[in-house]
Amino acid sequence: MGRYWRVYRRFFVSSLQRELEFRANFIAKILQNCVWIVFFLLIVVVIYRNTDSVAGWNRGDAFVLAATVFLLGSMSQAFFFSLMEIPDQVRRGTLDFVVTKPIDSQFWVSLRRFNFDQVGALVSGIVMLVYGVATSGHHPSVQGWLGYVLLFGSSVLLYNSFVTMLMTLGIWLVRVDNLWVLGETVQQIARYPTDIFRPEVKMILTFYVPLAFVGTVPALQLVDKADGRMVLAGIAWAIGFFVASRLYWRFAMRHYSSASS
């Protein structure tokens, strides 16, 4: 474990050095991410100018949900940005060098680059979360915050395990760069509470296709009662997706024939 931590620190430092080579571009991208967040917040504000509640969610609740999904997306883009490079590595043949290194190849392709562009979005998401909780009219308990943290961590693991499996298709299909957009589409849908759907659809999105665990279920820990059963369900879903991504990656590596063949 210590060796992997040293390797990741080297990844982190090299990513920072790369960003600082073009400082103006680095700052501009951070500001751009902050602007996109402001635009989405304006949409929420406009919606709630005409109503006090949408499917039982007030404006503060909506901010909490939006902040949760923004933080999920920002952390995924920051820590797991290199996942989207898998198809390009297959095309260029650089994946050959990864699989021959004395380190876990999935660790390498997942964490090779830290995307510092997302720093502004991470800070903005935290500010939005605090503001949403403060204006929602709810007073989350310690158990609620703990449940939120556990579910949010589970949602990050679940989502990025899904993206890993998605991008691993590049081993066979190669030209699948746009599959990353499917992951972003999941985030777009998760910004809206599952309570807006019919009961049967809500059940499917919670217990069969765990989209609710990406945004709605973690947010409910802060805007509603903490639910230990949902926390356990979220952790179970995350572990299941992570194990599936590991098995799928190993399967893909056994069938990877390298760029030279």
Q: Please state the three-class secondary structure of the chain as a single string.
A: CHHHHHHHHHHHHHHHHHHHCCHHHHHHHHHHHHHHHHHHHHHHHHHCCCCCCECCECHHHHHHHHHHHHHHHHHHHHHCHHHHHHHHHHHHCCHHHHHCCCCCHHHHHHHCCCCHHHHHHHHHHHHHHHHHHHHCCCCCCHHHHHHHHHHHHHHHHHHHHHHHHHHHCHHHHCCCCCHHHHHHHHHHHHCCCHHHCCHHHHHHHHHHCHHHHHCHHHHHHHHCCCCHHHHHHHHHHHHHHHHHHHHHHHHHHHCCCCCCC
Asked whether residue 250 is domain-assigned, the answer is: yes
Confidence (pLDDT) at 150: 96
Asked whether residue 260 is domain-assigned, the answer is: no
Looking at per-residue confidence, does 257 or 156 come out higher? 156
Asked whether residue 223 is domain-assigned, the answer is: yes
pLDDT digits over 64-73, tens only? 998 999 899 8
Range 133-146 average pLDDT = 89
- What residues pair up with 29 in beta bridges, in sequence order? none
Asked whether residue 231 is domain-assigned, the answer is: yes
Looking at per-residue confidence, does 165 or 183 come out higher? 165
Confidence (pLDDT) at 209: 87
Asked whether residue 141 is domain-assigned, the answer is: yes
Looking at per-residue confidence, does 251 or 121 come out higher? 251
Q: Which residues, in sequence order, are CB contacts of 73 under 8 Å at separation 6+?
A: 121, 184, 187
Confidence (pLDDT) at 174: 64
Asked whether residue 152 carries a pLDDT value surpassing 80, the answer given is yes
Asked whether residue 117 is domain-assigned, the answer is: yes
pLDDT digits over 9-38, tens only? 888 888 888 877 777 777 777 777 777 777
For residue 175, name the pLDDT band (cuts at 50, 70, 90).
low
pLDDT digits over 102-127, tens only? 889 999 999 988 888 888 888 888 98
Task: Return phi, psi of residue 139, to 5°.
Answer: -130, 85
pLDDT digits over 35-62, tens only? 777 777 788 888 888 888 887 888 889 9
Looking at per-residue confidence, does 174 or 81 come out higher? 81
Q: What percent of the chain has pLDDT over 70?
A: 96
For residue 260, name the pLDDT band (cuts at 50, 70, 90).
low
Confidence (pLDDT) at 153: 95
Distance CA(74)–CA(66), nearest Å, equals 12
Asked whether residue 261 is domain-assigned, the answer is: no
Range 219-229 average pLDDT = 86
**pLDDT averaged over the chain?**
86
Confidence (pLDDT) at 176: 62
Number of domains comprising the chain: 1
Confidence (pLDDT) at 97: 85
pLDDT digits over 72-85, tens only? 988 998 899 888 88
Q: What percent of the chain has pLDDT over 90?
A: 28
Sign of CA dihedral 121, 122, 127, 133: positive
Distance CA(242)–CA(155), nearest Å, equals 11
Asked whether residue 116 is domain-assigned, the answer is: yes
Domain span at residue 162 reads 2-254
